[in-house]
Amino acid sequence: MSDDTHRFEAVYRATYDQITAYAGRRCDSPQDAADVVAETFVIVWRKIDELPPGAEARLWVYGVARNVLADHRRGALRRQARHRDLDAEMADLYGDPADHSVERSAIAQAFRTLSDDDRELLALVAWEGLDREEIATMLGLSRNAVRIRLHRARRRFSRALDEADVRRALTGTVAPVGRTL
């Protein structure tokens, strides 16, 4: 295999799980998520020369996935007819319906009222476990800009939660059931 193939294989192995989860958390259907994963790695392969070294590689791939997802939401992404298998893998992940406690759906509701940008920032912290510096690298922003945007997103989310009256959530009644944190 060529060097490029080796590099791609390394980054693919290192990030496949994370990108699959990233797409799965943000797409409404397993087919859409599978498309986003496939398209993301096609672009990573095509642009393997631009792959930054070391730890930044993962953040760069997240950045590609984010752009692909944005395109997908604009309806411009083609169906990847060839990846039925991936669809099936995604369908497995979607097979486990989330717990629909009243509090949790209220939180989900409040979360949905936020802008895409706010939701993405909060989710990158809570779901992907990225810190501010990593988010700054991924989004190509300064750390300060991320700090400010995160602060505002948290404030807007808090307000939305208050409006939805989810104070009880903090007492622990919303502690996740059946999932490990």
Question: Following CA atoms 69, 71, 72, 76 in sequence, which dihedral angle do they give, to the nearest 10 degrees?
Answer: -170
The string of DSSP codes covering 10-35 is HHHHHHHHHHHHHHHHH-SSHHHHHH
Residues 27-86 that bind other proteins (CB under 8 A): 37-39, 41-43, 45-49, 64, 67, 71, 75-86
Sign of CA dihedral 86, 105, 65, 130: negative
DSSP 113: T
CB of 88 to other proteins, least distance (A): 7
CB of 134 to other proteins, least distance (A): 14
Among the listed residues 57, 91, 122, 145, the single contact to other proteins using CB under 8 A: 122
Regarding 173 and contact with other proteins (CB under 8 A), the answer is no
**Which residue matches tokens 């940008």?**
117
Round to whole Å and give the CA distance between 104 and 167.
Answer: 12
Residues 130-149 that bind other proteins (CB under 8 A): none
Round to whole Å and give the CA distance between 29 and 47.
Answer: 27
Output 14 or 142, the one with its CB closest to other proteins: 14
Site map for other proteins, 77-116, x if CB under 8 A? xxxxxxxxxx-xxx--xx---xx----x--xx--x-----
Output 54 or 129, the one with its CB closest to other proteins: 129
CB of 155 to other proteins, least distance (A): 5
* Total residues binding other proteins (CB under 8 A): 77
CB of 54 to other proteins, least distance (A): 19
CB of 33 to other proteins, least distance (A): 8
**Type of residue found at 154:** R
Round to whole Å and give the CA distance between 174 and 102.
Answer: 9
Regarding 180 and contact with other proteins (CB under 8 A), the answer is yes
